[in-house]
Amino acid sequence: MPIELPVVLSEGVELPTYATEGSAGLDLRSVEDIELRPFERRLVRTGLRIAVPLGFEAQVRPRSGLAMKHGLSMVNAPGTIDSDYRGEVGVLLINLGSETVKLTRGDRIAQLVVSPVARVEPRVVTELDPTERGSGGFGSTGTK
């Protein structure tokens, strides 16, 4: 059953949509023409404000096609939009490629995925329960 997502649109901005029936994220579009030089990062406006329902978050995620074709990604991927934020949704893009990338108004620049959030109650303990992995960190489980 769909969850309602209240949306306020700036003038001339389209309602975000899913590209296909199986898409997990709504497409976010730029409301401005920009150029990103190699290794430049910029907050790109979407002209969209949303009211994420309590108990949920919205994640702004990079688009794989932009990453593959142009080296575009997000500095803070995924970006989290909390249920009490009411400002404009922005996408913090970075150009990791070797060429300047031009984006025009209406270009799809990211995806918005809305997911439930579990709230936890931290409590101090003297020890954590043991696991097979233990405190092994980055790369400790191998690659195969």
* Surface-to-core class of residue 60, CB atoms within 10 Å of its CB (0-12 exposed, 13-18 middle, 19+ buried): buried
pLDDT at 89: 98
Q: Which residues contact 105 (CB under 8 A, 6 or more apart)?
A: 29, 30, 31, 32, 33
pLDDT at 67: 94
Q: By three-state DSSP, how is residue 46 classified? A: strand
What is the pTM assigned to this prediction? 0.88
Residue 112 placed within a domain: yes
Cα distance between residue 101 and residue 97, in whole Å: 8
Residue 12 placed within a domain: no
Residue 95 placed within a domain: yes
Q: Where are the beta strands (DSSP E) in 1-144?
A: 7-9, 26-29, 34-36, 41-50, 56-61, 72-74, 79-81, 88-95, 101-103, 108-116
Residue 140 placed within a domain: no
Site of tokens 């702004």: 60
Q: What is the DSSP letter of 134?
A: T
Pairing of strands 108-116, 41-50: unpaired
Cα distance between residue 14 and residue 138, in whole Å: 42
Residue 28 placed within a domain: yes
Cα distance between residue 50 and residue 98, in whole Å: 34
Residue 80 placed within a domain: yes
pLDDT at 2: 84
Best CA proximity match to 48, nearest among 23, 85, 18, 1: 85
Residue 85: CATH number of its domain: 2.70.40.10
Residue 77 placed within a domain: yes
Residue range of the domain that includes 60: 24-116
The tally of domains found in the chain comes to 1
Residue 57 placed within a domain: yes
Report the chain (144 residues): mean pLDDT per 10 consecutive residues.
91 94 96 97 97 97 95 95 97 97 97 96 95 79 71
